A and B are shown apart, each in its own frame.
Chain A
Amino acid sequence: MAERTAGSLDAEFAPARAASVYSVEIDGELVLLDEHEDRLHHLNPTASLVWSCFDGEARVRDLARDISGELGLSYELILADTMRIVRELGAEGLLAGVAADARPDPGPE
């Protein structure tokens, strides 16, 4: 199946964590290890909460509804935040089926 780009993701997308990503939790924040790229990512508490909800079945709009209900915040606000987080995680190559954005060539060492 062809990979999607992060920019093409919408509220109907059902995010799943990439198999190459390993996580540890510290004080409610996640540190993600992308073993494929040998890169580390630090998620803030909000992004960590969103990441913990990914199961490959729930769509972004479902996640936003659940989170907004849990936190008592506006659905539209949470949907916008969740969508931004999903696109950013996708752009970093951390979601299954989503191609990482091209990173600038660091050039010769």
Chain B
Amino acid sequence: MYVTRGFHALALDFALAVDDDALGKYLEWLLDGFAAPPGDAVAYEVVTAGDEPDAVELRFDGETVLHAAGVGSFVVHLVQWVNQRAVDPAYSVTSHAGGVVRDGLACVLPAHMEFGKTTLTAGLVRSGWSYLTDEAVAFDWETGDIEPFPKPLSVDPGSQHLFPELAPPRPPNARTYDVEQWQVPPSMFRADAVGARCRAGYVVFPRYAADAPTALVPIGRAEGLVELARNTFRFNEQSRRSLDALARVIRSVDCYRLTVGDLDTACRLVDALVPDGGNG
């Protein structure tokens, strides 16, 4: 039995007790962005030696909370499960967004699925920004500060050719890597890729558009607030409080729309938002 270190993922504190040492070490490597000092982590079991050949389960108190037919799909489902459990309006007001930080100011990248959040986030981290998340930007209800949610980046097949250096190793004992989406720990960029708690400086709404001219266009903060709210998880559960909290954030940032036809050009445009052109 391999027991991982504790992990802190916003509202979810957990550790994994894995009945396969190699898989346990792999998951610890994969989730390293969430590494946390020993605390109140709740231990979940990862079971490979169940009744069904090749199947992997996540269990809590003997109850199955996640079942996958193979190790590869288990890794993907585990990351999705962490995403779902980490986002909790009782903990923070959290927007569906990528996030990177440089010089203490975050660039928040809110967008719907398939708009290219992860690709742009990965491009910016590769160009020197520090990684906050590719999925969920968590704003403190009172201060608006952003707490990093450095999950493994979920890189879809359509973007993998842009990041050949990020191809993750196959999970141990996986007969095949039976899923197409890569799960990439931020440490694959560099050891210190994860950024610290910070405040928002820029909110950029990206949208991938193949063959379109890449362009960064300023928009008003009120328009930005509406877009940010529409990309906020479970906004309607506390809509008035959420709107007030997001408005406090928006009042101190610059807002833009970014059409991404070419990733490198898009990254240069975002770099140029930083006063020293991103070279500091």
Chain A residues at the B interface, C-beta cutoff of 8 Å: 22, 24, 26-27, 29-31, 33, 35, 38, 40-43
Contacts and interface: CB of A to CB of B under 8 A. Distances in A.
Contacts of A38: 236, 239
Contacts of A41: 226
B135 to A, nearest CB: 22
Contacts of A30: 222
Q: Pick the most buried of B221, B222, B236, B244: most chain A CB atoms within 10 A of its CB.
A: B222
Contacts of B229: 31, 40
A29 B230 contact: no
A32 to B, nearest CB: 10
Interface residues of B, number: 16
Interface string B224-266: 0110011000001001100110010011000000000000000
Interface of B: 220-223, 225-226, 229-230, 236, 239-240, 243-244, 247, 250-251
Contacts of A40: 226, 229-230, 243
9 pairs of A and B residues whose beta carbons are closest in the complex: A29-B222, A26-B222, A24-B247, A26-B221, A38-B236, A42-B226, A40-B226, A22-B240, A31-B225
Contacts of A29: 220-223
A27 B255 CA distance: 13
A24 B239 contact: no
Contact of A27 (B222, B236, B239): B222
A38 to B, nearest CB: 5
A40 B225 CA distance: 10
Nearest to A30: B222
B226 to A, nearest CB: 5
A35 B240 contact: yes
Nearest to B240: A22
14 contacts: A22-B239, A24-B243, A26-B220, A26-B225, A26-B247, A26-B250, A27-B222, A30-B222, A31-B222, A31-B226, A33-B243, A40-B226, A42-B223, A42-B226
A80 B148 CA distance: 50
Contacts of B251: 26
A35 B237 CA distance: 10
A29 B220 CA distance: 9
Nearest to A24: B247
A35 B239 contact: yes
Nearest to A22: B240
B243 A31 contact: yes
Contacts of B250: 26
Contacts of B236: 38
Contacts of A24: 225, 243-244, 247
Contacts of A43: 222
A17 to B, nearest CB: 15
A82 B234 CA distance: 35
Nearest to B225: A31
Contacts of A35: 239-240
A38 B172 CA distance: 46
Q: Pick the most buried of B229, B239, B251: most chain A CB atoms within 10 A of its CB.
A: B239
Nearest to B229: A40
A26 B228 CA distance: 14
Contacts of B230: 40
A89 B273 CA distance: 36
Given A22-B243, A24-B244, A35-B240, 7 more contacts: A22-B240, A26-B221, A29-B220, A33-B243, A35-B239, A42-B225, A43-B222
Contacts of A42: 222-223, 225-226
A26 B247 CA distance: 8
A71 B220 CA distance: 23
